[in-house]
């Protein structure tokens, strides 16, 4: 080995045996000053880009701050009025309900379900079929949202839409008659790739022999999934659901297709905040709703982390 | 261990570079302010080559900028003028401007809708022209050419904040070819709402034709108010704001909603089109394709939408196919001030950014853009009622449509209240038209509207019902 000639002193600093009155204060042996020096830039970045905006949002949320007009020049503190107003507002509650539908439909059932189905169906396949399927799924994931939105509008348009032409039913207004279903299918199509890849990797962890044993014992596909596959990939499932639920909850892309319409029937929370805060100019009220969204995100995350933790305990 | 110092040196070098760049921008050895020899100015407008208001964008890029730069050069000043185009919905453009101005940024000369001036001033985003650019503002030759009423578009609380571009009027456009097929006169002028509905009923017999397009709902934004609800409201003898009070669920508002139910409930209009995210643009395309019989719009439609030269939905046969008529009151004499016909007007304004680094030169640019010569160049081919009487006198005669609006429509027109709370009331009104279009009863839609307006303007005491 090349290291053979090195004197023993040149060992990694942290591994140096503690001698005399100068104990190494930390594992990396940096010393307090240098460690602080390393940490400060990260802390400053976190402060500037995370903490300050969050505090600013909380502050805005208790004011009547607006984009234009007198309230823009002299915002007044209105306490929790924005929060009580939001929670009492039918439009907010409808929006929250729509968001939950959207998350459940497109993330939990759509992306995770379809992603797993594709990964499971392709688990033993190699060669061109797998590459083509994966290629298409990935393509829908990596294309820019604005491009994809344009394609979907062209597909679903009432007068000149491709889908209507294929089905021979001109004048069917998918985006107006089924706005929520349209964006759920859109987001499923768009985001399945992540779940597919994650599950494909997870399925590699399921020992082939276990599956074969189960199959020899006469287990049906469903039984194999329930008793052999799922217990092995439970952590992956939860992690995947956590990530895609949060992403979907905060996803703005449906705005590009339906703009929240018609009559607010696809106005999920991110679109609602955009419309209230930017189009309507009510920045204070918008900030309050953003904060409520943040809290809901936290709740979602906590629920999943709880489940993950329970898994580790039982493991 | 030499890595760290090298990093530090790199960081130091970067900082120095930035510092040098910053000081280079504001080099103190050069004369600054009014006597600056090197100036940079930007112009912002909701116009873009090949898209929205393409003619305006072209005028700024190919006429204004080169000529202004040339004129400055003659004075020994190197000017760098850039145009920041936008091609978005008016609401989005407004948001962008408000955010720009709020963060002390934005272009030096900015085109805004006249109705925004009040709320921008109240927010502290705009300052009176003479405060930004000094005494040279009041001595500008152009003011004497702009009628007092038109100057009002750029004023708020008796102070000038911008120079108006001109004003506009609203009419009913109709497709003469479709009218001929439906057995309607080529020279059409309805005298009541009923006559519009009657014409619509006849057009309904034509296959694939939507008889009437009157903007409704929130997807169209302010276009619903300007081209739909408000002209109807003044036609029913009501005003959105009068004597310190906002119109609630009053009889005129109910009349307006009733008209919407008749159009969209009676199969005379396409309710789905009012819900589509790009419904207004689609209605333009459909009109140009001969699929819409009657469409209510401002003169913008004539000069920028179906304009055979550079419209966004060109109609090569515009001059022979597209007819226009005044918007009638509910019945003759039922409009505000006892009028038989009505219209709403607005207009664009160009303002100065109070945060401009070269306010004096920005004013030079702004006033240059409003000189008679520049305004005439801006018209080039298109037709528009400008703010300047001298220019109008020259070009009015050239276009029958322009003449029509200037002579028949402008004398009977009405304006929106320049108050910051107006946009919110306007949205409430748009929502009420959406309700009526979607089939809710007039009373339901009106009482929901009343409730929203009370919330917006601070209680029932400020609302008439």
pLDDT, tens digit, 9 for 90 and up, residues B265-323 = 989 999 999 988 889 999 999 999 999 999 999 988 998 899 898 788 999 999 999 99
- CB-based contact A68 B421, cutoff 8 Å: no
Tell me the nearest-neighbour CA distance from B137 into chain A, angstroms: 25
Query: Which among B166, B207, B107, B212 has a CA at the least distance from the CA of B304?
Result: B166
Instruction: Walk along chain A (315 residues) and give the pLDDT tens digit of each residue.
Output: 444 444 444 444 444 444 445 555 567 778 888 888 989 999 999 999 999 998 999 999 999 888 888 888 888 899 899 999 899 888 899 999 999 999 999 999 999 999 999 999 998 888 898 899 999 999 999 999 899 999 999 999 888 889 999 998 888 888 888 999 999 999 999 999 999 999 999 998 888 888 889 889 888 888 888 888 988 898 899 999 999 999 999 999 999 998 887 888 899 999 999 988 887 888 999 999 999 999 999 999 999 888 888 766 665
Residue A37 vs residue B381, higher pLDDT: A37
In the DSSP assignment, the letter for residue A205 is T
pLDDT of residue A26: 67
Closest residue in A to B424 (Cα–Cα)? A280
Query: What is the C-alpha to C-alpha distance for residues A78 and B34, in angstroms, rounded to an integer?
Result: 44
The three-state DSSP-derived secondary structure of chain B is CCHHHHHHHHHHHHHHHHHHHHHHHCCCCCCCHHHCCEEEEEEEECCCCCCCCHHHHHHHHHHHHHHHHHHHHHCCCEEEEEEEECCCCHHHHHHHHHHHHHCCCCCCEEEEEHHHHHHHHHCCCCCCHHHHHCHHHCCCHHHHHCCHHHHHHHEECCEECEEECECCCEEEEEEHHHHHHCCCCCCCCCCCHHHHHHHHHHHCCCCCCEEEECCCCCCCCHHHHHHHHHHHHHHCCCCCEECCEEECCCHHHHHHHHHHHHHHHCCCCCCCCCCCCCHHHHHHHHHHCCCEEEEEEEHHHHHHHCCCCCCCCCCCCHHHHEEEEEEECCCCCCCHHHCCEEEEECCEEEEECCCCCCHHHHHHHHHHHCCHHHHHHHHCCCCCCECCHHHHHHHHHHCHHHHHHHHHHHHHEEECCCCCCHHHHHHHHHHHHHHHHCCCCHHHHHHHHHHHHHHHHCCHHHEEC
For the segment B1-20, the average pLDDT, to the nearest whole number, is 47
Distance from CA of B18 to the nearest CA of A (A): 19
CA distances from B26 to B31, B41, B359, B404 (A): 10, 15, 15, 52
Which of A35, A69, A273 to mutate to test binding with chain B, by most B CBs within 10 Å of its CB?
Answer: A69
* pLDDT surpasses 80 at B123: yes
Give the least confident one: A56-70, A234-248, B336-350, B376-390.
B376-390
Do residue A73 and residue B123 have CB atoms under 8 angstroms apart?
Answer: yes
Tell me how far apart the alpha carbons of residues B319 and B399 are, in angstroms, rounded to a whole number.
Answer: 10
Q: What pLDDT sits at residue B22?
A: 46
What is chain B's mean pLDDT, rounded? 89
Asked if B95 lies within 8 A of A259 by C-beta distance, the reply is no
Least CB–CB distance from B277: residue in A67, A73, A261: A261
Question: Which of left, alpha, beta for B371 (phi over 0: left; psi -120 to 50: alpha)?
Answer: beta
Q: Mean pLDDT over residues B186-214, rounded?
A: 96
Closest partner residue to A176 (CB to CB) among B276, B420, B434 is B276
What pLDDT shows up at residue A97?
A: 95
SS3 A26: coil
Q: Which residues of A touch B420 (CB under 8 A)?
A: 68-70
- Entry pTM: 0.78
| Of the partner residues A68, A158, A257, the one whose CB lies closest to the CB of residue B123 | A68
Q: Is there a contact between B102 and A262 if contact means CB atoms under 8 Å apart?
A: no
pLDDT winner (highest mean) among A203-217, B17-31, B378-392: A203-217
Whether the per-residue pLDDT at B127 is higher than 90: the answer is: yes
Residue pair B396/B402 in contact (Cβ under 8 Å)? The answer is yes
Predicted pLDDT of residue A1: 40
Interface test with A, best of B275, B286, B452 (most A CBs within 10 A): B275
Rounded average pLDDT over B114-128: 92
Q: For residue A285, list chain B residues with Cβ-Cβ distance below 8 A.
A: none
Q: Averaged over B76-90, what is the pLDDT?
A: 92
Task: Locate the chain B residue with the closest alpha carbon to A257.
Answer: B277
- Residue B31 to chain A, least CA–CA distance (Å): 34
CB interface of A with B, residues 142-201, below 8 Å: 158-159, 173, 175-176
Query: Exposure string (b/e) for B238-262, b if CB count within 10 Å is 16 or more?
Result: bbbbeeeebbbbbebbbbbbbbbbb
**Among partner residues A158, A258, A281, which is closest to B272 by beta-carbon distance?**
A158
pLDDT at B11 over 60: no
Distance from CA of B276 to the nearest CA of A (A): 7
B270 interaction partners in chain A (CB closer than 8 Å): none
Nearest to A68 among B120, B219, B427 (CB): B120
Verify whether the Cβ–Cβ distance A175 to B276 is below 8 Å: yes
Q: Which residue has the higher pLDDT, B397 or A117?
A: A117
Tell me if residue A17 falls in helix, strand or coil: coil
Burial class (CB in 10 A: 0-12, 13-18, 19+), B187: exposed
Q: Across the interface, which of B91, B123, B124 has its CB nearest the CB of A279? A: B91
Is B95–A281 a contact, with Cβ atoms under 8 angstroms apart?
A: yes
pLDDT in tens, B32-72: 677 788 999 999 999 998 888 888 899 999 999 999 999 99
CB contact under 8 A, B95 and A278: yes
Residue A67, chain B, CB below 8 Å: the answer is yes
Mean local confidence (pLDDT), B326-338: 96
CB pairs under 8 A between A and B: 68
* Closest partner CB to B123 (pick from A72, A159, A176): A72
| Confidence at residue B363, expressed as pLDDT on a 0 to 100 scale | 96
Q: What is the per-residue pLDDT for A3?
A: 45
As for the ipTM of the complex, it is 0.73
Residue B222 has pLDDT above 60, yes or no: yes
Give the C-alpha distances (Å, rounded to integers) separating B49 from A43, B86, B312. 45, 9, 11
Query: Is there a contact between A70 and B434 if contact means CB atoms under 8 Å apart?
Result: no
Which one has a higher pLDDT value, A6 or B342? Answer: B342
Reference A284, options A62, A34, A4; nearest CA is A62
Query: Residue A225 burial (CB < 10 Å; 0-12/13-18/19+)?
Result: middle
Q: For residue A263, what is the DSSP state?
A: T
What is residue A254's predicted lDDT score, i.e. its pLDDT? 93
Residue A27: the pLDDT is 74
| Calpha distance B154→B185 (Å, rounded) | 41
* A261–B91 CB contact, under 8 Å: no
Of B122, B219, B423, nearest to A261 by CB-CB distance is B219
Position B10 pLDDT exceeds 80: no
């Amino acid at each position: 080995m090349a290291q053979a000639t090195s004197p023993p002193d040149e060992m990694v600093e942290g591994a140096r045996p503690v001698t005399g009155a100068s104990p190494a204060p930390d594992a990396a042996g940096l010393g307090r000053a240098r460690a602080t020096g390393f940490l400060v830039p990260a802390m400053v970045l976190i402060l500037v880009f995370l903490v300050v905006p969050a505090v600013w949002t909380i502050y805005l949320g208790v004011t009547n701050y607006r984009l234009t007009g007198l309230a823009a020049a002299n915002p007044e503190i209105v306490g929790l009025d924005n929060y009580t107003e939001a929670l009492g507002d039918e439009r907010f509650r409808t929006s929250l309900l729509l968001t939950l539908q959207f998350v459940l439909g497109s993330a939990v059932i759509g992306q995770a379900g379809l992603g797993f189905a594709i990964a499971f169906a392709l688990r033993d396949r190699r060669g061109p079929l797998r590459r083509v399927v994966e290629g298409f799924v990935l393509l829908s994931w990596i294309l820019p949202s604005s491009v994809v939105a344009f394609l979907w509008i062209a597909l679903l348009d009432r007068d000149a839409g491709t889908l209507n032409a294929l089905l021979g039913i001109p004048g069917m207004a998918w985006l107006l008659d089924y706005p929520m279903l349209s964006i759920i299918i859109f987001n499923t199509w768009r985001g399945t790739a992540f779940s597919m890849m994650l599950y494909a990797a997870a399925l590699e962890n399921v020992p082939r022999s276990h599956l074969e044993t189960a199959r020899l014992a006469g287990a049906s596909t469903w039984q194999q999934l329930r008793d052999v596959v799922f217990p092995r990939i439970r952590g992956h499932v939860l992690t995947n659901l956590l990530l895609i639920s949060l992403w979907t909850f905060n996803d703005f892309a449906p705005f590009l297709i339906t703009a929240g319409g018609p009559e607010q029937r696809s106005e999920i929370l991110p679109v609602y905040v955009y419309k209230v805060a930017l189009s309507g100019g009510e920045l204070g009220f918008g900030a309050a709703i953003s904060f409520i969204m943040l809290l809901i995100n936290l709740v979602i995350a906590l629920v999943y982390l709880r489940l993950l933790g329970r898994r580790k305990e039982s493991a | 261990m030499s890595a760290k110092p090298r990093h530090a040196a790199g960081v130091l070098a970067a900082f120095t570079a930035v510092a040098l760049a910053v000081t280079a921008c504001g080099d103190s050895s050069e004369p600054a302010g009014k006597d600056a020899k090197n100036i940079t100015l930007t112009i912002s407008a909701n116009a873009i080559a090949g898209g929205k208001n393409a003619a305006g964008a072209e005028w700024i890029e190919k006429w204004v900028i080169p000529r202004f730069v040339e004129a400055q050069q003659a004075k020994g000043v190197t000017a760098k003028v850039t145009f920041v185009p936008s091609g978005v919905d008016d609401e989005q453009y407004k948001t962008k401007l408000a955010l720009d101005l709020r963060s002390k940024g934005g272009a030096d000369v900015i085109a805004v809708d006249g109705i925004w001036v009040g709320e921008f001033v109240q927010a502290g985003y705009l300052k009176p022209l003479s405060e930004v650019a000094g005494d040279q503002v009041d001595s500008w030759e152009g003011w004497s050419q702009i009628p007092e009423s038109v100057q009002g578009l750029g004023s708020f609380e008796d102070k000038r904040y911008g120079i108006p571009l001109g004003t506009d009027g609203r009419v009913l456009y109709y497709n003469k070819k479709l009218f001929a097929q439906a057995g309607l006169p080529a020279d059409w002028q309805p005298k009541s709402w009923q006559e519009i509905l009657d014409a619509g009923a006849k057009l309904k017999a034509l296959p694939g034709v939507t008889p009437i397009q009157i903007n409704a709902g929130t997807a169209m934004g302010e276009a619903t108010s300007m081209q739909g609800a408000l002209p109807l409201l003044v036609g029913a003898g009501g005003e959105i704001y009068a004597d310190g009070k906002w119109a609630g669920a009053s009889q005129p508002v109910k009349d307006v909603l009733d008209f919407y139910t008749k159009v969209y409930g009676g199969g005379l209009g396409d309710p789905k089109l009012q819900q589509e995210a790009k419904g207004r643009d689609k209605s333009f395309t459909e009109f140009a394709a001969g699929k819409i019989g009657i469409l209510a719009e401002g003169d913008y439609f004539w000069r920028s939408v179906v304009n055979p030269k550079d419209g966004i939905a060109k109609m090569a046969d515009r001059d022979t196919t597209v007819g226009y008529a005044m918007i009638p009151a509910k019945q003759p004499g039922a409009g505000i001030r006892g009028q038989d016909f009505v219209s709403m007007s607005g207009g664009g304004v160009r303002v100065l950014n109070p945060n401009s680094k070269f306010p004096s030169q920005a004013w030079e640019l702004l006033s240059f853009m409003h000189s008679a010569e520049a305004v005439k160049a801006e018209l080039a081919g298109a037709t528009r009622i400008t703010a300047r009487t001298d220019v109008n006198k020259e070009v009015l005669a050239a276009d029958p449509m322009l003449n029509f609006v200037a002579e028949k429509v402008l004398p009977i027109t009405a304006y929106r209240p320049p108050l910051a709370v107006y946009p919110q009331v306007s949205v409430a009104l748009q929502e009420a038209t959406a309700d009526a279009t979607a089939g809710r009863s007039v009373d339901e839609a009106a009482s929901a509207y009343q409730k929203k307006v009370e919330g917006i303007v601070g209680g029932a005491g400020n609302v008439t019902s």
